[in-house]
């Protein structure tokens, strides 16, 4: 695919994304002016605000104005928070990324060995159990599991901290640098804050981790099955290599390329799919931000958030694709 064609594809996808979101935003039967002026505002105040926001213009004109702004790097202001949308997103997005990263880490560290195990013991009880664990991960309503986890680990056992990212206690002793709190607390060598932040993130991250574990372990299993049936494995066995070595050093290494792709895709899924988890854990991330904004017809915020998530999705897919193309010998030759 030529660069030019690729750029056209990305650009049209973006434009489509913008257009769809924009028009949904305009047909939503919520008056965005209400969010600004409140229910009690006199009629003339409402009318004036509507004009100030440009909501009296025809839709297509509003859309053009918006797109023009976006090209100049201006995504408008959020009605709810009164900040420029990009400033808000810079604040909330690290929270989502941090959660998704830790979740993917947990999912990969547990999911890959599980998948390997299932493939090696194909058809055994172990295999079936791994399969059921995976399927349950696909089947469980994550918001429900989150509620129960909060109930058990926070309310009853008091093992973890509650909803939110950090205790208020640290609000004025801990200043974030990057917005990734775990990293920031390490950079600042603030171990008390680190403990607190960790106690907050561990539950939602484990939930997301379970979710991605389900996917990763299934895919690992199938990749491994594929590798284990290859001739070089038979050859390796014939050479008398130990089974452990064959599995981990040869088969898994060869399965690594598609696996990285799968992990990347699962990461993208967590980034965009954490709306419900963020709701349950009051996690101030992008998903929660978009949902809140949507319910207030704060369309600048929704559009900005959607673009960011869309970009991440497109970006990670592209990355996975490229990785696959450059690393995998089969596609490289094809």
Partner 1 sequence: MSLATMTRRDWLLSERPQSRMQARLGRTYVTWRRFSANRLALAGLAIIVALLIVAALADVISPHSPVIGDLRGSRLLPPGPEHWLGTDGQGRDILSRLIHGSRLTLFVVVLVAIIAAPVGLLVGTVAGYAGGWTDAILMRITDIFLAFPKLILALAFVAALGPGIENAVLAIAITSWPPYARIARAETMTVRNSDYIAAVRLMGASPLRIVILHIMPLCISSLIVRVTLDMAGIILTAAGLGFLGLGAQPPLPEWGAMIADGRRFILDQWWVAAAPGAAILIVSLGFNLLGDGLRDALDPRGGGQ
Partner 2 sequence: MMMGKINGRFRVLLAGAALSALVFAGAPAYAETPADTLVLAWAIDDIITLDPAESFEISAGEMMGNSYDRLVRFDPADPSNIYGDIAESWTVSDDGKTFTFKIKPGLKFASGNPVTAEDVAFSIQRVVKLDKSPAFILTQFGLTKDNVDENAKATDASTFVFVTDQAYAPTFVLNCLTSNPAAVVDKKLVLEHVEAVTPSEENKFDNDFGYAWLKTNYAGSGPMKIRDWRANEILVLERNDNYYGDKAPLARVIYRHVKESATQRLMLESGDIDIARNLSPNDLDAVSANENLAVTSTPKGTVYYISLNQKNETLAKPEVRQAFKYLVDYDAIGETLIKGIGEINQTFLPKGMLGWADDKPFTLDVAKAKELLAAAGVPEGFSVTMDVRNTQPVTGIAESFQQSLAEAGIKMEIIPGDGKQTLTKYRARNHDMYIGQWGVDYWDPHSNADTFTSNPDNADDASSKTLAWRNAWDIPELTAETKSAVVEPDSAKRVEIYKSLQKKFADTSPFVMIFQQTEVAGMSKAVQNFKLGPSSDTTYVYKVSKN
Give the 3-state secondary structure of residue 75. coil
Asked if 162 is part of the footprint of partner 2 (rule: CB under 8 A), the reply reads yes
Q: Binder to partner 2 among 7, 12, 16, 31 (CB under 8 A)? A: 31
Q: Which two tokens stand for residue 236?
A: 């390796």
Other Cβ atoms within 10 Å of 16 Cβ, number: 11
CB 249 within 8 A of CB 232: no
Q: Which two tokens stand for residue 278?
A: 């963020």
Tell me the C-alpha distance between 141 and 177, whole Å: 34
For the stretch 62-66, contacts whose Cβ atoms lie closer than 8 Å and that sit 24 or more positions apart, written own/partner, are 62/22, 62/26, 63/18, 63/19, 63/22, 63/23, 66/18, 66/22, 66/303
155: which DSSP letter?
A: I
Cβ contacts of 223 within 8 Å, gap of 6 or more: 115, 255, 258, 259, 262
Q: Binder to partner 2 among 10, 70, 74, 83 (CB under 8 A)? A: 83
Asked if 80 is part of the footprint of partner 2 (rule: CB under 8 A), the reply reads yes
Residues that bind partner 1 in the complex, under the rule CB under 8 A: 9, 12-13, 16-17, 20-21, 24-25, 27-30, 122, 128, 131-132, 135-136, 138-145, 147-148, 150-151, 155, 218-219, 221-222, 225-226, 229, 272-273, 275-276, 279, 287, 290-291, 294-295, 302, 305-306, 309-310, 313-314
Residues 217-276 within binding reach of partner 2 (CB under 8 A):
none
Q: Binder to partner 2 among 8, 135, 249, 282 (CB under 8 A)? A: 282
Asked if 139 is part of the footprint of partner 2 (rule: CB under 8 A), the reply reads no
Residues that bind partner 2 (CB under 8 A): 28-31, 34-45, 48, 79-83, 91, 106, 110, 113-114, 117, 126, 129, 133, 136, 149-150, 153-155, 157-164, 167-169, 171-172, 195-196, 198-199, 202-203, 205-207, 209-210, 213, 282, 284, 292, 295-297
């Amino acid at each position: 695919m030529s660069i030019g064609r690729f750029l056209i594809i990305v650009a049209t996808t973006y434009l489509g994304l913008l257009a769809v979101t924009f028009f949904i935003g305009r047909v939503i039967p919520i008056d965005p002016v209400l969010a600004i002026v409140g229910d009690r505002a006199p009629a003339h105040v409402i009318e004036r605000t509507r004009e100030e926001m440009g909501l009296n213009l025809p839709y297509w004109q509003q859309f053009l104005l918006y797109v023009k702004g976006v090209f100049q790097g201006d995504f408008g202001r959020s009605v709810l928070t009164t900040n420029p949308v990009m400033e808000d997103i810079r604040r909330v997005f690290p929270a989502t990324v941090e959660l998704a990263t830790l979740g993917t880490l947990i999912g990969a560290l547990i999911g890959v060995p599980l998948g390997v195990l299932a493939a090696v013991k194909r058809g055994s009880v172990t295999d079936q159990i791994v399969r059921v664990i995976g399927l349950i991960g696909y089947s469980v309503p994550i918001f429900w599991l989150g509620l129960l986890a909060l109930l058990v680990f926070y309310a009853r056992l008091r093992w973890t901290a509650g909803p939110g990212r950090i205790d208020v206690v640290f609000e004025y002793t801990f200043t974030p640098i990057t917005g990734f709190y775990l990293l920031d607390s390490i950079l600042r060598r603030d171990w008390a804050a680190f403990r607190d932040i960790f106690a907050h993130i561990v539950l939602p991250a484990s939930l997301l981790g379970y979710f991605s574990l389900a996917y990763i372990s299934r895919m690992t299993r199938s990749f491994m099955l594929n590798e284990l049936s290859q001739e070089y494995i038979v050859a390796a066995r014939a050479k008398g290599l130990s089974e452990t070595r064959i599995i981990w050093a040869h088969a898994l290494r060869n399965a690594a390329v598609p696996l990285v792709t799968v992990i990347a895709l699962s990461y993208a899924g967590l980034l965009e799919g954490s709306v419900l988890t963020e709701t349950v854990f009051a996690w101030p991330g992008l998903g929660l931000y978009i949902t809140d904004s949507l319910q207030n017809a704060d369309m600048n915020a929704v559009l900005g958030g959607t673009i960011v998530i869309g970009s991440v999705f497109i970006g990670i897919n592209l990355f996975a694709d490229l990785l696959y193309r450059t690393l995998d010998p089969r596609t490289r030759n094809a």
